[in-house]
Structure formats: C-alpha cells, structure tokens
Copies of this chain bind each other. A is one copy, B any other.
Amino acid sequence: SVTLFGVVDASISGYSSTSRDLNGATFLNPFYLNQGSVKVSRRTLANSGYNSSRIGFRGTEDLGGGLAASFWLEAPISNDDGQQGIATFARRSTVSLSGGFGEVRLGRDYTPTFWNDTVFDPFGTNGVGSNLINTANDAFGTFGTPAAATAPFTNVGSSNYVRASNSIGYFLPPNLGGFYGQVQYAFSEKNKYSPGTATPATLNASRQGRYVGGRFGYANGPLDVAVSYGSSTVGDNYYVGTTTKVNTLNLGASYDFGPVKLFGELSKAKNKIDYEVEPFLGGRPDVDLTGYLLGVTVPVGAGLIRASYSHVKYDFNAPAVLFAPAVEDPKANKLALGYVHNLSKRTALYATIARVSNKNGAALTVGGPAFIANGVFTPKTSTGYDFGIRHAF
C-alpha cells in the first residue's frame, strides 16, 4: 500500500558571473584607470537540472463512502555528492482526508502562489533555465538572514515562498468542469503573551512564519489559466508595532496549439511594512518586484525544445530628492534555451543554456557563484549550462 518513488537527476554544469567597472574619468578624478571586468566561474556535477532529485513514499487508503485517507512524504536529495539523503521530507510532508467535498491536507506543502511560477515556466523552475520571477522572489522575503534564503529545505525559517510548514490546505474536488482551486493557511507557531507586555523584546519573533493564500484556475483542453494571491509574514517587532509582509499576486496561462505550446506569466510582489503607529517622517517605502515571462515548447519526435524570456524589475519607491539624480530601478532579463531528449518515459538526456543581463545594480545569476560586487565592479551578465540525465523511478 506504499509507493516508493523518486528522481535522480545529475548534470555537468558550468556557471560564469561577470562584473564590470562602469566608472570612467571624471572632473574630480581625471586619470581614473578603468579596471575592465572580472569573472567568477565554476564547473560542477550538479543535481536537479531538469527535474528535482527526490525520493518519496506515498499511499492512499479507501475508507468507503467516497472518503479516502492518504499521505505523501517526499525528500529532496543531492545525488551529485550524496550528502543529503532522506534527512528531511522538506519537499512535501502531508496527510490528507478527501471525499466529495474536496481534500483537506495537513503538513508541509507548496504554497498556492508558487504554483504559477513553476507550472507556467517551460523549465519548471529547475536548472540554469529557471525563470527570473522565481529567482528574484526566492530571495525577496527572507526572514532577515541570508542563511534562511540559502537553506530553503532545512530551514523552516525561510520566507515560505516555495513551501510552507505547519499548514492546513483545502483543495476543491476535481469534478468542477475544469475549475480548480485551493486555499492554504500556515501557522507561525509563535508564542503569544497575555498581557502583551510579557512578550520578550525580540525582533521578528512573534508573528513571523504565517502564510495565507489561495489559487484558482481553469484547465480545459489546450487551455490552462490560473490566478493566485498570498501573504507571507516575514518579520515583525511587537514593541515598535511593525509587521513585515510579502504580498504576492500572479497570473499564469498556457495554451497548447499542438506543434507549439505557449506559456505566459505576470507577477507582482510587494515587501511591505505595516506600522501600527506611522513614523513622523514616513516609514520605509514598500519595495515592489514585478516580472513577466514568455515561454514556448516545441515537441520534435522523442524530444522537446524549450525556450523562455523573463524580465523582473525592482522598485524601491524612493521619494524624489531635489537636485539629486534619480536612482534607476534595478532590473534584469533572462533568455533560456534547452532541449530534452527522452530515452523512455522515465529517462531523458537534456541540455540547457541561459544568460541573465543585469542593470542598475541587480545581481541575479543563473546559479553558481555570486557576482563580485564592490565599489569598483557592478554585476552584469551571468551565463550557464546544464548537460545531464534525469532518471525517474
């Protein structure tokens, strides 16, 4: 009654991040010597270039009367170096009760808002081809510390961008003529003190971790379209009376013409501080992150050509300062191209190349080493490739 399943995906991958000296001679420094560019590169054996490497256990029990109980435990694994086995079930860890009413699901699961970012991406947010909406949002609402961002699997304290722990989900039943939908609530699991003055004077510790969101869509024949909205509490300060949230709204669609399938997505995220008492000089302005994606896949025999263009822009909503030059909004775009060759349903070879171009201080990469960024060098282009094999079992 238990199904054991998994994916082992390994690739030879290379990454290269180039920063450039954009300074030139000025009136104050007429003899400035431009230092050109500096490149950081790395070659690796990587995992999850096409599909995420994993191993899982799942099963369903028919309880009669249309009712069923089921479980799903899925672990991320790093098969390139063998260092992460089934240490966690951080990909998914749920128990469900389902019936004519739909499904109630308890545990750790994908957030509704992440689904559109991955389902409508020809590269499925995997490998160097993953779209920029995903790359930028993943680092957008981290809980204060960079460590949280880099350890999305082992650290519960990440921003709940991809998944949320301690969640209760509800899914519409599948028989609604193509309409589908879900809502999710995740507990912050933080202590509440009564009277509130007993709350320890700790930043980011009393409401952080809560997530609430939903997603609704329509899939029929060649068309699939869905909208989602979610709000993630990424930090707060009880004494100052602030709550920091990332609110995300996105809309995605795909249409399968047969010889060609088109993909598109729009996304808008806002990193927002709610003030119980508005500061005299105004609070920190909201930070906006908007993005769009256009993608296409073309089946050719046993293969599939994949391509996507994505674009993101940050807006710090900084107030204009008299006589100062306006600060340009950081932005980046990405072009990704790939080919998958299916040796069977379970086994495929794949190749992907991608290039990110950054402007005005954005520092997004295709993966691999971070840019060298300092007073002299500004991040510019990041390129990378994956050449690998995906085997599912």
CA distance A40 to B85 in the complex (A): 36
* A44–B391 touching, CB < 8 Å: no
> At the interface, yes or no: A287 with Cβ under 8 Å from chain B?
no
Known A-B contacts A166-B45, A192-B41; A95 and B8 likewise in contact (beta carbons under 8 Å): yes
Q: Mark A56-91, 1 if CB is under 8 A from B, else 0.
A: 010101011001011101010111111111111111
> At the interface, yes or no: A159 with Cβ under 8 Å from chain B?
no
Q: Which of B83, B107, B195 contacts A38 (CB 8 A)?
A: B195
* B9–A95 touching, CB < 8 Å: yes
CA distance A284 to B43 in the complex (A): 31
> Contacts of A187 on B, CB cut-off 8 Å?
43-45
* B1–A42 touching, CB < 8 Å: no
* B90–A83 touching, CB < 8 Å: yes
> At the interface, yes or no: A12 with Cβ under 8 Å from chain B?
yes
State the number of copies, please.
3
Known A-B contacts A81-B108, A195-B38; A95 and B10 likewise in contact (beta carbons under 8 Å): yes
Known A-B contacts A59-B393, A61-B347, A156-B83; A107 and B192 likewise in contact (beta carbons under 8 Å): no
CA distance A106 to B12 in the complex (A): 9
> At the interface, yes or no: A189 with Cβ under 8 Å from chain B?
yes
> Contacts of A166 on B, CB cut-off 8 Å?
44-45, 80-81
Shortest CB distance A16–B (Å): 9
How many residues on A have C-beta within 8 angstroms of the other chain's C-beta atoms? Answer: 78
> Contacts of A192 on B, CB cut-off 8 Å?
40-42
A63, A70, A73: residue with the most chain B Cβ atoms closer than 10 Å: A73
Known A-B contacts A82-B89, A83-B88; A61 and B346 likewise in contact (beta carbons under 8 Å): yes
Shortest CB distance A384–B (Å): 14
* A45–B168 touching, CB < 8 Å: yes
> At the interface, yes or no: A194 with Cβ under 8 Å from chain B?
yes
Q: Which of B4, B41, B81, B391 contacts A95 (CB 8 A)?
A: B391
> At the interface, yes or no: A31 with Cβ under 8 Å from chain B?
no
Shortest CB distance A239–B (Å): 17
CA distance A134 to B190 in the complex (A): 26
Shortest CB distance A163–B (Å): 8
Closest to A90 in B: B82
* A67–B343 touching, CB < 8 Å: yes
Known A-B contacts A41-B191, A57-B55, A193-B40; A80 and B92 likewise in contact (beta carbons under 8 Å): no
> Contacts of A191 on B, CB cut-off 8 Å?
40-42, 369
Shortest CB distance A40–B (Å): 5
> At the interface, yes or no: A6 with Cβ under 8 Å from chain B?
yes
A residues whose Cβ falls under 8 Å from a Cβ of B: 1-2, 4, 6, 8-10, 12, 38-45, 55, 57, 59, 61, 63-64, 67, 69-71, 73, 75, 77-95, 97, 106-108, 154, 156, 163, 165-168, 186-187, 189-195, 198, 343-344, 346-347, 369, 372, 388-389, 391, 393
| Further contacts, 7 of them, CB under 8 A, given A4-B57, A9-B95 | A1-B393, A38-B198, A39-B194, A45-B189, A61-B344, A81-B166, A97-B389
